[in-house]
Structure 1
Amino acid sequence: MYTVSELSKMLKDKKISSVEVTTEYLAKIDAKDKEIEAFLLVTKEEAMEAAKLADATIAAGNATTLTGIPCAIKDNMCTKGIRTTCGSKMLEDFIPEYDAFVIKKLKAAETVMLGKLNMDEFAMGSSNENSHFHITKNPKNLERVPGGSSGGSAAAVAADMAVFTLGSDTGGSIRQPASFCGVVGMKPTYGSISRNGLVAFASSFDQIGPLTHTVKDSAMVLNAIVGHDKGDSTSRVYKYEDYTKDLEKGVRGLKLAVPKEYLEGDAIQAEVKEAIVAAIKEYEKMGAVVKKVSMPSLKLALPAYYVISSAEASSNLSRFDGVRYGYRTDDYENIEDLYKKSRSEGFGAEVKRRIMLGTFALSAGYYDAYYKKAVEVRALIKQEFDEVFKDSSAIISPVAPTTAYKLGQKTKNPLEMYMGDIYSVPVNIAGVPAISIPCGVDSEELPIGMQLIGNMFSEALLYQIANAYEAR
């Protein structure tokens, strides 16, 4: 297994070539992915060509920290000339004519893209079981889900079929699969990474981020992909710092908050709670000051999130009408029939469920009762985060209430699956950054993740706090 930091040094020191390491990872995909099914598309020819170019750049002494490093991309980020499906029948044959902004960033760094990764359809799901193509399995236990919607991204790193991957996080879709698969997943501050070329689910929540083996790797990848994009109106103008510079500072004297609402009640699995409590004690041993706080509005986050995100999904997915691009039914009588059949046949059950919920919440007579109320709750939750961060460097919490559950266990009860997002969605509602790092395993050797939540643009501090625990 290579980490980004180790491989970057090996490539620059010419102890290995990008062609050699790319060949090695393509062989790993051939050997492992028949069982795990993390990939929707493997781009062998393009990868080898990129590796040759990377080796030439390294030989010329012009390499960046990511030059020549093999990675893989969640299949909702547009890649020019390479199929981008969003895990949906609707976009089964869609080939974009442009690269997403984040793909341009990776190309500028001369990374090597190995392929596109499986996901819940249009990023709607928490288990990766909603993909139109196949179900990805958790490399830690093939009978368990890898989490979602970036399940393919987490599984590819956990199975060492890519050095790092990119996922997207709307309500926990990077952090929850990172927790389930035992890897590091970062959801950055909203607007720090351009959404230009990311196929939208819920525009005010969606955020791209890296999944990696280590905290330092995550910081290195984030360095390469943050930045303002004039093509994205939500992209933030900000002086982004080097996220690796303070990794070794430790946590002595830092104040860490633990919301009592996160560790109370029956929702949380006993072993998950024990692992988080043990991690909190480790931080205290390292000199951090841990205090309990109350954030009473957190209990309202889940319903508010599903109302707002479904409303935005209803709007964003209206463009898929069977006319301009995407799936079109073969049998229709008129334009209305074309719309109805193309969307009914092209979208899966979960996507249709959320479109219907969102359309209902936005409809006349219900807008004020549901959507407007949810937006008010969103402001309240953001207020509570702001209040906590006045006196705390970060918040510690679980990532998910359970470890990875069995394949098919929750597919018949969507509400039960939605409850798995209870600890992750408040972060997206507030637009703040959060990182998931492994903090133990349960009695079945399934990974448990700890979530560290920071104030806006505090990624460097989160990496510092996360690295202290990882090093310990």
Structure 2
Amino acid sequence: MTIAETRDKVLNKETTLTEIVQQYIEQIEAQDSEINAYTATHFDEALEQAKTIQKKMEDGTAGKLAGVVMGIKDVISERGKKLTCASKILENFESVYDATVIERLRAEDAIFIGRLNMDEFAMGSTTEYSSFGAVKNPRDTSKVPGGSSGGSAAAVAANMAQATLGSDTGGSIRQPASYCGVVGLKPTYGRVSRWGLVAYASSFDCIGPLAHSVEDTARVLDVIAGFDEKDNTSSHIEKDDYVAAVQNPDKNIKIGVPEEFFAEGLDEEIKEGIESILDKLEADGAELVPIHLPHTKFGIATYYILATAEASSNLARYDGIRYGHRADKEEMLDELKKEEIALKEQFDLAEGEKKIELQEELAKMDSALIRLYKKSRTEGFGTEVKRRIMLGTYVLSAGYYDAYYGKAQKVRRLIQNDYKEAFKKVDVIVSPTAPTTAFDLGSTLNDPVQMYLNDVYTITANLAGICGISVPAGTHSNGLPYGIQFMGDSFQESKVLNAGRLVEMLNA
């Protein structure tokens, strides 16, 4: 059921919120042992919320999202709940406050049923890099669900939540939405507060909704969007009426079609499917406008330089001292003492230059504190997180900052300018969401660059700070869904929702 249908059925006494929540609980119990979308569930709390909100609905005092059963990506702070970021380094950390988006959802009577699995610290495109294990795609459990919000997309696709929250740094809402056959929206940077979102790359990260329909996505966005004084990147620009944009879509829109997004590397069947949709939209009144985005070819390289640089800085705070996983202190001290004794024994027996070398080695030995940092971070972080920290540290290091990080910032500006020029001519820009359908679990674990390339169509929206939506476009001959993406200018979420709804109507 849609959010509106749920409300109507409860008000008409065809069902109760307790019954609805119980259905989701049963669905999770039946499926999640295989799908692995949840890191934690809160069934008793959800049932209590249902009873309270049911009374408010009967009294006419319920909020906009009364009765909507939601899962929350485990990178968004929820008071009293574990906030693990799917990482061993935060496996026992419990949040002490609500993120702004949680406060706003709670105020409008959304029901929270659990925390959702993800790539560790949102770093990945497959949701295989999680300390809780890989998430499987409900459409085919041998396939990845996409990432890093794979748990958020899989929970909706498997009917284990009516809507979910994810985070999008380089396509992490839209790409899994495409692979799992649901709707996913990345708002403009600054449209939704990041207060309470654990940072991966602070100038890219966005919180956004996933749901079965464009209208449900719009309803959740309507609640979470808006200025927040606690977030100094939050915008004062007033939000639109997103639900109205979906309920009364304008068919006479200008759609920019960039040749760069329909070139080599795109699955031919996906290309033909999207072109067919565009032909139908044109027949209904849309205008297709050929455009060029010449700097998009540099998007992947630019993103992975800038995002990993920010990640290496943001993740420096996880040191095992203040909170999170800490290596066994006594074990670490024993290792340090054994190394020191071994070096001293060699030093006592050595002569000449060898003695000087060993003396220098002893002087350079890490202190106990530095050793504790290293051991805690080595044990606490997974493979992909370590890879991105190392990449980010490298591009920020002396001698390489100007060659990599400085140049990447300049290219980011060029990409932003490409979009600004394009939006002078069109309302939205269309592209595939991903170049292929979901691929086999494990197939990119030894080839991270191949994994990175799956975000080729989504990354530039994050570099430019604009909004984008992925809507199911069709089903491939392999039986898997694929998505169509619409990108809009800054704070033009209504336009991408409008375009997404037009596609939804074609597929109805």
Q: State the TM-score bracket (shorter-chain normalisation).
A: over 0.9
| Distance in 1, Cα, partners of 2:205 & 2:277 | 29
Q: Is the 8 A contact 2:88 2:380 kept in 1?
A: yes
2:416 paired residue among 374, 382, 403: 382
| Distance in 2, Cα, partners of 1:347 & 1:4 | 38
2:440 is matched by which residue type in structure 1? K
Q: Which residue of 1 aligns with 2:474?
A: 440
Structure 2 matches for 1:61-140, cutoff 5 A?
61-140=60-139
TM-score using structure 1 length: 0.98
Query: What value does the CA root-mean-square deviation take over the aligned residues?
Result: 1.0
- How far is the alpha carbon of 1:8 from its aligned partner? 2.4
Q: Is the 8 A contact 1:251 1:286 kept in 2?
A: no
**Count of aligned positions:** 470
| Distance in 2, Cα, partners of 1:264 & 1:291 | 17
Q: Which residue of 2 aligns with 1:458?
A: 492
- How far is the alpha carbon of 1:9 from its aligned partner? 2.3
Answer with 121-130 or 273-282: which moved more. Answer: 273-282
Residue deviations 1:208-233, cap 9 Å, x none? Answer: 00000001111111111111111110
| Distance in 1, Cα, partners of 2:61 & 2:377 | 48
- How far is the alpha carbon of 1:332 from its aligned partner? 2.1
Q: Which residue of 2 aligns with 1:298?
A: 296
- How far is the alpha carbon of 1:16 from its aligned partner? 2.1
- How far is the alpha carbon of 1:84 from its aligned partner? 1.2
1:332 is matched by which residue type in structure 2? M
| Distance in 2, Cα, partners of 1:181 & 1:93 | 30
Please identify which structure carries the higher helix content.
Answer: 2
| Distance in 1, Cα, partners of 2:153 & 2:262 | 25
Instruction: Among all aligned residue pairs of Structure 1 and Structure 2, give the percentage whose two residues are the same amino acid.
Output: 48
Q: Does 1:269 align with 2:273?
A: no
- How far is the alpha carbon of 1:248 from its aligned partner? 4.1
- How far is the alpha carbon of 1:14 from its aligned partner? 3.5
| Distance in 2, Cα, partners of 1:175 & 1:252 | 23
- How far is the alpha carbon of 1:67 from its aligned partner? 1.1
Q: Which residue of 1 aligns with 2:392?
A: 358
| Distance in 2, Cα, partners of 1:10 & 1:206 | 36
SS in 1 for 2:306: helix
Answer with 385-394 or 328-337: which moved more. Answer: 328-337
Q: Which residue of 1 aligns with 2:455?
A: 421
- How far is the alpha carbon of 1:289 from its aligned partner? 0.6
2:505 is matched by which residue type in structure 1? A
Q: Is the 8 A contact 1:119 1:149 kept in 2?
A: yes
Q: Which residue of 1 aligns with 2:332?
A: 332
Q: Which residue of 1 aligns with 2:140?
A: 141
Q: Is the 8 A contact 1:192 1:236 kept in 2?
A: yes
Q: Is the 8 A contact 2:104 2:224 kept in 1?
A: yes
Structure 2 matches for 1:34-433, cutoff 5 A?
34-265=33-264, 267-330=265-328, 331-333=331-333, 334-433=368-467
Q: Is the 8 A contact 1:200 1:206 kept in 2?
A: yes
In structure 2, the gaps of 5 or more residues are 334-367
| Distance in 2, Cα, partners of 1:88 & 1:209 | 21
1:467 is matched by which residue type in structure 2? R
SS in 1 for 2:457: coil
| Distance in 1, Cα, partners of 2:15 & 2:129 | 39
Give the number of the structure whose alpha-carbon radius of gyration is greater: 2
| Distance in 2, Cα, partners of 1:410 & 1:455 | 33
SS in 2 for 1:370: helix
| Distance in 2, Cα, partners of 1:6 & 1:249 | 18
Answer with 283-292 or 318-327: which moved more. Answer: 283-292
TM-score using structure 2 length: 0.91
Q: Is the alpha carbon distance of 1:350 and 1:131 closer, same or farther for their aligned partners in structure 2, counting shifts above 3 Å? A: same
| Distance in 1, Cα, partners of 2:286 & 2:176 | 28
In structure 1, the gaps of 5 or more residues are none
Q: Is the 8 A contact 1:12 1:63 kept in 2?
A: no
| Distance in 1, Cα, partners of 2:241 & 2:11 | 20
2:224 is matched by which residue type in structure 1? I
| Distance in 2, Cα, partners of 1:46 & 1:369 | 52
Q: Is the 8 A contact 2:162 2:211 kept in 1?
A: yes
| Distance in 1, Cα, partners of 2:419 & 2:9 | 42
| Distance in 1, Cα, partners of 2:58 & 2:332 | 58
- How far is the alpha carbon of 1:10 from its aligned partner? 2.1
Residue deviations 1:86-140, cap 9 Å, x none? Answer: 0100111110111111111111111110100000000000000000111110000
2:431 is matched by which residue type in structure 1? S
Residue deviations 1:180-206, cap 9 Å, x none? Answer: 000000001111111101000000000
| Distance in 1, Cα, partners of 2:68 & 2:289 | 41
Q: Is the 8 A contact 2:63 2:107 kept in 1?
A: no
Q: Is the 8 A contact 2:437 2:482 kept in 1?
A: yes
| Distance in 2, Cα, partners of 1:250 & 1:320 | 46
Answer with 61-70 or 368-377: which moved more. Answer: 61-70
| Distance in 2, Cα, partners of 1:257 & 1:249 | 21
| Distance in 2, Cα, partners of 1:8 & 1:382 | 41
